[in-house]
Structure 1
């Protein structure tokens, strides 16, 4: 009987410990040097019409993405440099600043912070200046996982608690903001077609975070 009680206590302790460790963010910073900061400040001015001295944002929105790159290592390598690679010629005309996001979530739900929460990142046309980006390793052929769904929910709740977040959208919805005051893109012809992170995934994450009363696309 005594051994049974000890075992029960041990199991309870282990369960509580696991529950306490289910949410954590691992820092895996991309390059955020003087060049990236300079290009970010220039992007804010040229593309968003916002003149400021530092490469930081006042977040009002979270934008969820998928990477279309199959691995965490490949995604990190793509985001790490300050300069856009030659393979992204289609968007190079807008800026030489490399794309990135503040957060990246692996297939197993591990959350990585690539940039400080409020550092400027180029990840969504017209809305970068107010949006925190969350990239998820996945694609059309590799839909996001249950572990990623849970991690996204935890991260959204964490960010909502820290900042005045009012919107939660999928990348594919960004164009719907063109007729709103939030939209700030100086070139009306600059746009790309997006499907990430999938309509089904957005329905699930919105259901799980309904209590936060975050707005979607107009």
Structure 2
């Protein structure tokens, strides 16, 4: 099923490719919100003010979907299982040709960025350090961010590698100060280009390092 979306740029399509969001994933999401972010609520919903751009480091869309689909973390992700067994995911996934897939509603909680999941929409892009994101992905990310800005009070667009710069700010909510990872996605060059294309929206980046 395709959702045809209008924005400042030409209309684009978002295809719905839902990951499993059953009672188990819902409950694990609610628990993660409470335990990791200190937010107690009955539903796994977020109030987005931020979009976080990622690359998958997995070579294909289908393999990425398979990695996100199950509600619980696989054995291979033991390093982050100390923070909970909820599997990682994102609301959107963009293929190399720029095709946008919506994996879950953008107002539903996804585990994709430490300390900020409760207020951030995640956009994964198929790519890696050795397979930099494409021009078609750049355009798709621009269109998607513009659309999300019309739907929510989005203030920030950041690369995953910038998330630690929010530590100590009012947005940072992580119960364990030692639970941090080093990230490089989606690349500094990509973020420079996407910010140049979105400069008319006056969106903020991550706070400057002190």
TM-score of the superposed pair, with normalisation by structure 1: 0.90
| Residue-by-residue CA offset, 1:38-96 (whole Å, 9 max, x unaligned) | 00000000000000000010000000000000000000000000010000000011000
The match for 2:32 among 43, 49, 54 is 43
Gaps of 5+ in 2: 1-8
Q: Secondary structure at the match of 2:83?
A: coil
Q: Secondary structure at the match of 2:26?
A: helix
Pair 1:201 & 2:193 matched:
no
Pair 1:142 & 2:142 matched:
no
| Residue-by-residue CA offset, 1:121-174 (whole Å, 9 max, x unaligned) | 000000000000000000000000000000000000000000000000000000
The match for 1:179 among 168, 172, 180 is 168
Counterpart of 1:6 in structure 2 is none
Pair 1:74 & 2:63 matched:
yes
Counterpart of 1:14 in structure 2 is none
Q: CA deviation at 1:179?
A: 1.4
| Structure 1 segment 39-188 matched on structure 2, within 5 A | 39-188=28-177
Counterpart CA distance in 1 for 2:10 and 2:154 is 25
Counterpart CA distance in 2 for 1:115 and 1:178 is 27
- Structure with the higher fraction of residues in helix conformation: 1
Q: CA deviation at 1:183?
A: 0.1
Q: CA deviation at 1:20?
A: 5.3
For the aligned residues, what is the CA RMSD?
0.9
Counterpart CA distance in 1 for 2:151 and 2:82 is 35
Q: CA deviation at 1:32?
A: 0.5
Gaps of 5+ in 1: 1-18
Instruction: Please identify the structure whose Cα radius of gyration is greater.
Output: 1
Moved over 6 A (4+): none
The match for 1:28 among 17, 31, 43 is 17
Q: Secondary structure at the match of 2:182?
A: coil
